[in-house]
Structure 1
Amino acid sequence: IVLVQTYHPGNIGAIARAMKTMGLKKLVLVDPREYPAEEASNRAAGALDVLNNATVVQTLPEALTDCTQVFATSARKRNYTRPQVTAEEAAGWVKRNPKEKIAIVFGRERMGLSNEQLGLCQQLLYIPGNPEYDVLNIGSAVQIVSYELFKQLGNHRDKGEIGEITQDSIKNTIAYASQQELERFYQHLESTLSATGFLVKNHPGEAMQRLQQMFARAQPNAKELRMLRGILGSVDKLIDE
């Protein structure tokens, strides 16, 4: 679970507690306004291990460096070019793709995620609700998403097991490219397309944004991305000649 620029420290504590009840342990805080904080510790009753082990970074790209699939969260469907899934559908995707390093990103309490931050994510996760009043606080949103993950992946208490999500409960599939690998590919793509004259040098603008959206929808795996980098490398050699 990744929290971006959380304003109220109490929300961080409540989220740590919500995560632990559903077997989640890894919490990443991106540029929180106040952390560590006494209020966060007070609200994390029984989940101080999750809270105290949280990783703090300054930017979202830092938080997503080794992630291969990133879900951005939203209170509702949006005009967004990536796949849009409910919390339940996202949990199903996670179960089907156990090899992936997955992050679920929650934005600021009032403003959510910026367009630039959304651009780092492959899918948009939304929580359907009452269309006449779809206001959901961040702690409740994390609790719902954590519960959907637990339903798909956790060992339920009514089966006599400890409720903790583990990779042992799911099957193996393909491995997607990491966020860091994608960023390097985009940099290589922009450089090559600029050299060919397709992009105006130093002003890639909308064309690169649309290309990134296209590749985000395609979700290439690591092997496919290496092939694409190889193609770009061949083009680079022709340009140098």
Structure 2
Amino acid sequence: MRLSRVRFVLVEPSLSANMGAVARAMKTMGLTQLVLVRPQQAIDAEALARAAGADDLLAQAMVCDSLTEALSGCRLVIGSSARARSLAWPEVDPAGCAAQLLQESVQGEVALLLGRERSGLTNDELSHCHFLTRIATNPDYSSLNIAAAAQVFAYELRRTALQWQAEAQIPARAPGRNPALELSRAERDETDETDERADLATADEMAGFYGHLEQTLAQIGFADPAQSGTLRLRLRRLFNRARPDRTELNILRGILSAAAGRKRPDRFRR
């Protein structure tokens, strides 16, 4: 199981008790990476009490000043939100979220992003995500504590990992085949897909590209930074969907530099 490569990232959690409860939810399912972005309270006695034995996760939790720092090195980011968005984002349910995270963890770090207790994730924070995931709650009362949401996702991750592990141990029935050399169907699909995209740009690399893109669009007069919020989100959604690798990202940044006049191919110089 590759649960050790899955980060749970909490954005500006307001209550220390919730941080402790999330740590407990994670540890019960074998998850170990907790990341806190600008927590509003310090880890205190209340957090330790709610952790109920998951003190080690709190002690080793990474505390970050920015979301870009928290997602550094992650090849896949999925954000959890209870709110529908005016700009549609690719969505997966919690089971699909677990499967996507585990598949991608074959090649590197991945993250599940959980927003503030009261207001969730902003659109700008969601723009760091490749997918949105939502828990199918009662539409008449959809309020779900962040630790309860974390427990749902943690359970789905462990359930999926155990299921794939069990499938890998099922003997092949066809005569003349060696079960020890067989991969489960999930693992075959996983291997085929991830081997082809082993060098995907990470979240922090994409953040650098987005900054470059927005700067260039302003320099060439295509967009006004003060009035282009929707354009920014649409462009981020476009490139998140494309998921460029590092070589492709370097090509795109070269194009941006050329468009801004900082780098011109020799054949165009006079």
Normalising by structure 2, report the TM-score.
0.75
**Shift of residue 63, structure 1, vs aligned partner:** 0.9
Residues 1:74 and 2:74 aligned together: no
Residues 1:176 and 2:200 aligned together: yes
Residues 1:103 and 2:126 aligned together: no
Distance, in Å, in 1 between the alignment partners of 2:200 and 2:251 is 13
Distance, in Å, in 1 between the alignment partners of 2:109 and 2:247 is 16
Paired residues in the alignment total 231
Q: Which residue of 1 aligns with 2:161?
A: 153
Q: Which has the larger radius of gyration?
A: 2
Q: Give the letter for the 1:51 counterpart.
A: L
Cα 1:17/1:188, change in 2 over 3 Å: same
Distance, in Å, in 1 between the alignment partners of 2:215 and 2:37 is 29
1:13-162 aligned at under 5 Å gives the runs 13-75=20-82, 77-97=84-104, 98-154=106-162
Unaligned regions of 5+ residues in structure 2, if any?
Answer: 1-7, 168-186
Distance, in Å, in 2 between the alignment partners of 1:132 and 1:203 is 37
Unaligned regions of 5+ residues in structure 1, if any?
Answer: 160-168
Q: Which residue of 1 aligns with 2:178?
A: none
Q: Which residue of 2 aligns with 1:213?
A: 237
Give aligned-pair identity as a percent. 40
The answer to whether the 8 Å contact 2:68/2:207 transfers is: no
Greater mean deviation of Cα atoms: 63-72 or 186-195: 186-195
**Shift of residue 28, structure 1, vs aligned partner:** 0.6
**Shift of residue 52, structure 1, vs aligned partner:** 1.0
Cα 1:100/1:82, change in 2 over 3 Å: farther
Greater mean deviation of Cα atoms: 229-238 or 3-12: 229-238
The answer to whether the 8 Å contact 2:69/2:204 transfers is: no
User: CA RMSD, aligned part only?
Assistant: 2.7
